[in-house]
Chains A and B, each alone.
Chain A
């Protein structure tokens, strides 16, 4: 990096991976999300059916693996240099991993849908290989760190839970063929889902938030200790919850309470960061993040209620559990990821296209890539769709689920439009830069010209 000589010895700037390392993950993930949202209105009967069936599992894994896991993997490759001030261990491994994951997820989702277990197990094995590559890459990257802060701890824990989830998932896939786990399928699913949702996904989001939310809002994480308590509460609670769910023990409630306490601490720290922020206006990225945290609070309370077992009937309990799961997947995780994409994508693409042109040509600021109209429409449609769909699932209302999924499909289309607005900056023909007029009336476009006295205004 020409000219940068840091004052203290160990301040070499972290090298960012090339654009396509994270970007191919993001694009595939966004494709999966939009596909799932467009698909949902045609799945109403299946959604109102019991959740442990092929079509629902296909849709669920399209979201959990295709959308959520691929996004987090791509984001990890991008954020690790920023958050941990180090360099990704291997870009090539990240490339291989992408294709393996793509094949694995497609095979899994396809075979869930058709109910062909061997094909699904094959897909699951591919996903496990992809996960192992990811663990090696991230593990070696983390190993380079001199000190593990709160972000690194969350990332490390999330990786461990990802491994456990993938292994358990593969065992469940093989069990469909060889039948060796003892038949308690539902308990295993609940355990698997919470390991994934809390251990892998929520843990990663928490870790990233401690770095990104202060950065984006210009707020401050004042005291790290509550964050560390949150980390331990979440871990202890989840480890206990996993076994309690598997064994269907009454201890579920105790561990759920520990998790709820951890979540409460996280939300408290986030509120503190928002309260101290120097950036009064909340952009659409931050608005999504804030509303996602609202869903997290509701999901946590719902989870606690389910853990008490005080439900008016088993059937209602099953519907409630499904509604709780959908609210967590869409309301907490997906809304958060959409918000983070609105922040990360313009930044990534701006850097790729424009950073070398600063001072030579007038370049648009990254903050203007997204615009106002599309994220606003998508925001309200997504929330309306989520709430309507979840209400419909819990109340077993076909009308609400149909309406809700149609609204979600619309939200998906608008999200696609918003993404197109950002991605078009990758194509110079679609986003030409204005020519610069010199003081003498000549048009300057080539970067190599040196015109004394001229500072092009952005």
Chain B
């Protein structure tokens, strides 16, 4: 699913009183819960706009924040946060045309590359330190990230 399709879906849902829906296709299963999604652990004090030009054309971009496979707060406690170790620009894929390094639901192990953070024209690969399953991707492709910002949540094995 493309980011813009997802966004359209969420926009449509906004105008309804649907509080939960599940969509299942051959490729993925998406659950959306509205209204009481727990806030992320670390929200940047000011969310700055994504500089559109800087983003390599979002391929199968990371799911935006509103659409996690909404973990319940209890389930979330078990999740391991992957945070940005440096300030820079988040890239979900190695190049504009390539598929993302990881998608929600994928299994990772220590050393699996999760994303790239570009800082000062240097591409820094961010690797998983935990074996488990990606439960949430919290950042959009091309978005600036700050130190300590949560990028992914992994359900450890």
- A and B pair up: no
